[in-house]
Structure 1
Amino acid sequence: MSATAFDRTNYKSGVPAIITWNSGSIYFKNGLTIEEGCTTFDVRTDAFAGADKRRDTLMATIKGVPSGQYINLGTWFPWLSAARGARLHGASDKTCVVKWMDGDIWTYHNAALAEMSSLILSPTKTIMDGPITLEARTKNNTAPSAANSFVTRTTGSFSDTSFSWDDIPTQVYELTWGSWEGFHTRDGVKISAKTKWEDMPCDALGVVEKELDLLEVTAEFTPVGVSMADLDSALVMQGASSAMRGSRLSGQAQNLIIEGTGVYIEMRKAALVKLPMQSGAPGKGRFGTVQMVSTLAVTDGLPVTQLLLDTEAPEE
């Protein structure tokens, strides 16, 4: 059998790419992944072991860990003060443009940010610690059979001038939690704001929208130089100030404040809920990674934002 002809220009490599979405641009540090396709459901009969696979919902996920640009915070952290029931895609479609450095341009016409990056506050790590995830669906009020109803693929010269190393902070931060003023950690503080979404399906098209059901904010760090007495006091496990089963965490909660040049982060009503301790080889450390959770405060009938991200402390 003779060798077949091959067009090498169709052999695509995984060159770097950036995305622009909702007036913001993001560069990535470990690559960007895009997965297009559909979910499936099974049709079965008792007579056969296998199932007939059928199409369900069409979607693409666009995912990657940002390089750590601490800019456009309202764009990349949109759900911190959102109301329960907020729509993922909202009233108007937002395009996500993937710009490959080889000149390919993929425009997803209806994309929404479903997962926000976690944060790591450390002098030796970039501030974005986890992936962002965008979900892309068919354009609003458009049949999938329409041309370019989902994505448009074009080419052009790669061009972007938004990147600056100055937008990626690595610095020593001032940490405060109640009476713990200027405390230290072994390798930084990780803060996560996790969203939970509920599907909104349509009989003919599958899932066409999602609603925000839950936002949970947590912090994790390994304390260094914090006394056992202070840790015991924070956990309120015993003694006169011990907390009863069913008591509100707000009774032991304090705002966790992290400040640096151009960075101000405030995790409201943070309570310590987990303290692992360990023995072993020298250098391991007595305390493991502790966990704090934010308990939602309500003032004048309105929820207080659990996590505030800014570039400086708000005015009193």
Structure 2
Amino acid sequence: MGKKAATFTLFRGMKALLFLIFPKLAKGLGLSLTDPESLDFFTKLIETNIQKRREPGAQKRHDFLEMMLEAQAGQSKVDEKELDTFEKDAILDNGSTVGKRELSVVLDDTTVAAQALLFFFAGFDTIESLLLFSAYELALNPDVQEKLAQEVVPVMQENKGDLTYEATQKLEYLDMFVSETLRFHPPAFATERKCTQEYKVPDSDVVLPIGTQVLIPINGIHHDEKYYPEPEKFNPEHFSAENKAKRHPYAFLPFGQGPRNCIAMRFALTEAKAAIAHLVYNFKVEPSEKTQIPVKLSNKTTIKKPVDGMWLSFQSRDTSLY
């Protein structure tokens, strides 16, 4: 059902265009950007889970859905010291109009189900894209791969081939590598926001009225030499502490920014870093005879993917050398 929901068709593309240009007409016609069958499947699945968790004696689960239900009941606690800039921007009570409303109103069961759906779909094709292009860049940049292995292998050896959450957060070069992959190959080419108040674009006569849809070109910003020297060169040093400090934080948008940034960002990054660490620990990744250089992109999905899959060669890594 996840595959079905993520498959891009001409009809879905036409509906998306209609939503973008004539949103009121699209809503009036009762159109949906999602596949009706898969949406119904996941909605019923989540609603059933919500009811079961409210039954007397139901098992307590430490997962996203449980956190949403706790927030709904006013039982959630947030330690802001553990949050990064992205996450602090997204807190419900950050002074926005949403934060001034009762959480029980904001987080009704329909909204909880919608957020759970978003959490799943946002990390479905996007993580696949990130891991595909991570492996691709490892193969094309053996010097980067070796430097990453020198950081990852000793840490995983200490944990007998495993990786803890705490260890993952300490791998600085791995974080730089993942960030550069997201810069060079952002899964989404663009994002959009709606103006909630009239806005005058600085240094121009352009005034955006309330309700204006603004399309933000993620890929264009990520490849702008104004923010990234030699933007067409894959270089994890773009995300060294020194270079990040020189750059406006909104010049990096794989997860969006502000109160509407990606709800699953921390989960997605942890998941991807763990997968890449295990990949580098176990294998040396190299181009194969079928590897496309440069890679050809598919036009059948809204998420960046290679047209014929990703063909690479994997050789066992001798971890005794580290």
> TM-score, normalization: structure 2?
0.26
Who wins on radius of gyration, i.e. which is larger?
Answer: 1
> TM-score, normalization: structure 1?
0.27
Between Structure 1 and Structure 2, which shows a larger proportion of helix residues?
2
Between Structure 1 and Structure 2, which shows a larger proportion of strand residues?
1
